[in-house]
Amino acid sequence: MTAQLWCFGESGNAAKVAQMLTLTGTAWQPVFVNFFAGEARSPAFRAINPMGEVPVLRLDGRTLTQSAVMLRHLARKTGQFGWASEEEEDEILRWLFWDNHKFSAQIGTTRFLMNFLPPEKRPEQAIAFQQGRLKAAYAVLEDHLASRDWVANGRPSIADLSLASYLYYPEPFGFARADWPRIDAWMSRLSALPGWKHPYDLMPRAFPPATA
């Protein structure tokens, strides 16, 4: 049965799951959510996910929310991008939790404030504070990659897919690949995986591409 992923192209959290579905060869189709028009807060959407958040994955008769849960479920189901021991699973979970708390959550908020609010409503002090926190997080990841090609277990895993997702977006949020050479090289290794796609090529976008 074809999986359904409630998503929109600008969502880095949805991109994590869309990438995993694509790389594992899982049949899936996107269900566009008009997030910026408030659809995620609508009664119809909350009937699917009471948390009012994207993404939502419907697969094998189950409805899953929270991207880390979806990634873990897909790793178990497909036998790909997962773990071979309890120790490896714990290491992957460690980085998934760190990503959700310290990395993707901060990037998503900062990117939203800098790009998807009208310029006159952008809180510059809050943005600067967020960017300071992110700089510290980038340094943690950069240092971690000094002695390894992949985040968790010596091979690409759902930890890599989760952590890297937002970093490929072109909108500014205080990250430049050239400033973090190990992260840059890691991102290149990820995007070289067979079947990898840019987030904007995975899902329908809420906003059309910028034109010159």
pLDDT at 91: 98
Q: How far is CA 186 from CA 104, 136, 141, 146, 148, in A?
A: 17, 18, 10, 10, 9
Per-residue pLDDT tens digits for 75-132: 999 999 999 999 999 999 999 999 999 999 999 999 999 999 999 999 999 999 999 9
Which residue reads 């340094």 in tokens? Answer: 139
How many other C-beta atoms are found inside a 10 Å radius of the C-beta of residue 7? 26
User: 90 — alpha (psi -120 to 50), left (phi > 0) or beta?
Assistant: alpha
Contact between 123 and 113 (Cβ < 8 Å): yes
Percentage of the residues of the chain whose pLDDT score is greater than 90: 97
Q: How confident is the model at residue 164 (pLDDT cuts 50, 70, 90)?
A: very high
Number of H helices, E strands in the chain: 9, 4
Per-residue pLDDT tens digits for 32-71: 999 999 999 999 999 999 999 999 999 999 999 999 999 9
pTM exceeds 0.85, yes or no: yes
Main-chain phi, psi angles of 191, to 5 degrees = -70, -10
pLDDT at 211: 46
